[in-house]
Amino acid sequence: MFALLLLCAFVSASHGARILGVFMTPSYSHQVVFQPIWKELSLRGHQVTVLTPNPLNDPTLTNLTEIDLSFCYKAWDNYSIATLGAKEHSSSEEIKKLSEAYLAVSEVQLSHPEVQDLLKNNSKYEFDLILVEFLWPVMYGFKDIFKCPMVGIASLPLTGTANEAIGNPNNPALEPEFTLPFSTNLSFKERVISTIFKVLFKVGAKVSLRPKMEKISQKHFGNIRRLEVIAQDVSLVLVNSNLALQNVKPLVPAHVELSGIHIKEPKPLPKDLKTFMDDAKEGVIFFSLGSNIKSELLPEEQVNKFMNVFSQLPYKVLWKFENENLPNKPNNVEIKKWLPQQDLLHHPNMKLFITQGGLQSLDEAIRSEVPILTIPFFADQRYNSHHLAQSGGSLSIDFHSFTEEEFKEKIVELISNPTYKKQITKLSKIASDQPMPALEKAVWWIEYVIRHDGAEHLKYPGVDMPFYQYFLLDVIAFMAGTVGLMFYILRRIFKHVVVTYKVFSKLVGPLSNSIRPEKSHAE
């Protein structure tokens, strides 16, 4: 028996690929999507090396090497991402702030000694595949360094430029950028805004952002292709999305949707939390703003509004709060720095989830069939909140303008009106009804690319076409020119016929009069 297990292990290892994973974003909500993938690949016998700000540090994963980039959280925090939504701002201001943060994080990560060793001594490393977070193009340079296929993984919906890279249709009237505060059933005004935003974002990125990314790329990767060209060379992209939270749209084969890859089987709650939940006969409201928005950094005025409303409710409130001290905290409110969110949402006494509207948090609440109140701050949160509210599964408030009356009214409405629970249950069935578990699907497609040496056959030919050919501008111009030429020729012919007829009429008129016979006297 032991010999058989040893043989199986040897066979598995012999077929294992050498995989480099590059997952740069210093945000736990991003990393929880990637972690199960690199863990499972290592368990299946692949030799996996990962660059991440959130290493698993699991000594049992003998095929896994993690380069710890957690120090980059400091560079990320320097740009006040945790308070980005606390003040009113435009989408363009938000993109500018996030772009600056990503540029800074790229620089410090690529300058790290272990990463520099990969780059400068790349001849001693060999990889069969690159896995990369398909969000920030600077890191795509690893593909050209190690000259192997690349698979992208996205924890969010794809940006417009990412969709273009793989050939997905990207109509601004139907698919607005996820940084905009609307998602579906766009009004005329929203379609105008979406179109203008798309054009300005593309022009602004090309003029301002891309040169900065290329500068960092050339500094650390050397003479490689332009980043937008490398992006188009991706074999496929695994996207964390599902029909419960995204619009239906046509997709190319290189776009593979995953649903709830970070969702785990619920575990028993710690004793103190179990007691808290079990004893809450009226029910519990769970309030968490995710890993990026810190409740302790919110304006005091808004925090007081939350507490005043909570004190008027018959429910217990469990609030993820990063500080152990919250002055004037109501008796029915319990605060904790960290909470097992997925396990709590599954408890039968959970009545409502108040969240910032991050994709992973919404997915967890929907799977647990808990009504949702969103308070979106930035990035995709406003888009997600709008989409879920449009589907009838949630309500939302504006953090900057909400009143205590509105906050209380919407909490009561969500808990007391069974329509929301019913709709969330419907969405849960849609999100959960998949042909295979998300992790199995992700690993299968990654190994598919390895088996087919990059799976070039999945690439959509439209990616390599110039835009004027893709949108048939040359064909339209040819047809318009041909029709115009035909009209011009016909007009010239018609004009020539008319002139000829007039000349002929002038010549024939007098001649016919001269040869007309005279009438006789008898007549």
Annotate 105-162 with three-state secondary structure: HHHHHHCCHHHHHHHHCHHHCCCCEEEEECCCHHHHHHHHHHCCCEEEEECCCCCHHH
How would residue 510 be classed by pLDDT, with cut points 50, 70 and 90?
low
Spatial CA neighbour of 433 closest among 260, 264, 265: 260
Where in the chain are the domains? 14-259+436-464, 271-432
pLDDT tens digits for 172-204?
A: 998 888 888 888 889 999 999 999 988 888 888
Q: At what angle do helices 28-43 and 438-451 cross, to 10 degrees?
A: 60
Beta bridge pairs of residue 20: 49, 130
Question: 12 or 121: which carries more pLDDT confidence?
Answer: 121
Q: Name the range with the highest mean pLDDT among 50-64, 78-92, 157-171.
A: 50-64
Spatial CA neighbour of 138 closest among 52, 213, 76: 213
Q: What is the pLDDT of residue 81?
A: 74
Q: What is the largest CA-CA distance in the chain?
A: 139
**Integer angstrom CA distances of residue 451 from 128, 140, 444:** 10, 21, 10
CATH of domain 14-259+436-464: 3.40.50.2000
Q: What is the pLDDT of residue 509?
A: 62
E strand or H helix at 513, and its extent?
Answer: helix 473-514
Q: Which amino acid is at 190?
A: E
3: pLDDT strictly greater than 60: no
Q: What is the pLDDT of residue 343?
A: 96
How far is it, in rounded angstroms, from Cα 437 to Cα 258? 9
**Window from 12-26, 187-201, 330-344, 430-444 with minimum mean pLDDT:** 12-26
508: pLDDT strictly greater than 80: no
How far is it, in rounded angstroms, from Cα 380 to Cα 406? 23
**Is 474 exposed, middle or buried, given 0-12, 13-18 or 19+ CB atoms closer than 10 A?**
exposed
Number of other CB atoms surrounding residue 434 within 10 Å = 15
Please tell me the pTM assigned to this model: 0.87
The answer to whether domain 14-259+436-464 and domain 271-432 are alike in fold is yes
pLDDT tens digits for 153-178?
A: 999 889 888 999 999 988 899 888 88
Cβ-contact 349, 317 below 8 angstroms: no
The SS3 of residue 319 is: strand
**Phi and psi at residue 131, to the nearest 5°:** -105, 130
- Which ranges constitute the DSSP H helices of 291-335? 300-311
518: pLDDT strictly greater than 60: no
Q: What is the pLDDT of residue 292?
A: 86
Q: What is the pLDDT of residue 14?
A: 42
How would residue 13 be classed by pLDDT, with cut points 50, 70 and 90?
very low
Tokens of 233: 């060379």
**Integer angstrom CA distances of residue 21 from 47, 56, 263, 330, 475:** 11, 13, 21, 46, 43
How would residue 5 be classed by pLDDT, with cut points 50, 70 and 90?
very low
Q: What is the mean pLDDT of the chain?
A: 90
How far is it, in rounded angstroms, from Cα 489 to Cα 377? 62
How far is it, in rounded angstroms, from Cα 289 to Cα 162? 27
Q: At what angle do helices 91-110 and 210-221 cross, to 10 degrees?
A: 10
Q: What is the pLDDT of residue 12?
A: 42
Question: How much of the chain exceeds pLDDT 90, in percent?
Answer: 69
Q: What is the pLDDT of residue 86?
A: 67
Cβ-contact 194, 180 below 8 angstroms: yes
How would residue 248 be classed by pLDDT, with cut points 50, 70 and 90?
confident
Beta bridge pairs of residue 50: 21, 66
251: pLDDT strictly greater than 80: yes
Cβ-contact 46, 18 below 8 angstroms: yes
Question: 179 or 523: which carries more pLDDT confidence?
Answer: 179
**Integer angstrom CA distances of residue 338 from 273, 288, 389:** 12, 10, 27
How far is it, in rounded angstroms, from Cα 95 to Cα 160? 13
**Window from 24-33, 83-92, 347-356, 470-479 with minimum mean pLDDT:** 83-92
Q: What is the pLDDT of residue 514?
A: 59
504: pLDDT strictly greater than 90: no
CATH of domain 271-432: 3.40.50.2000
**Window from 39-53, 72-86, 318-332 with minimum mean pLDDT:** 72-86
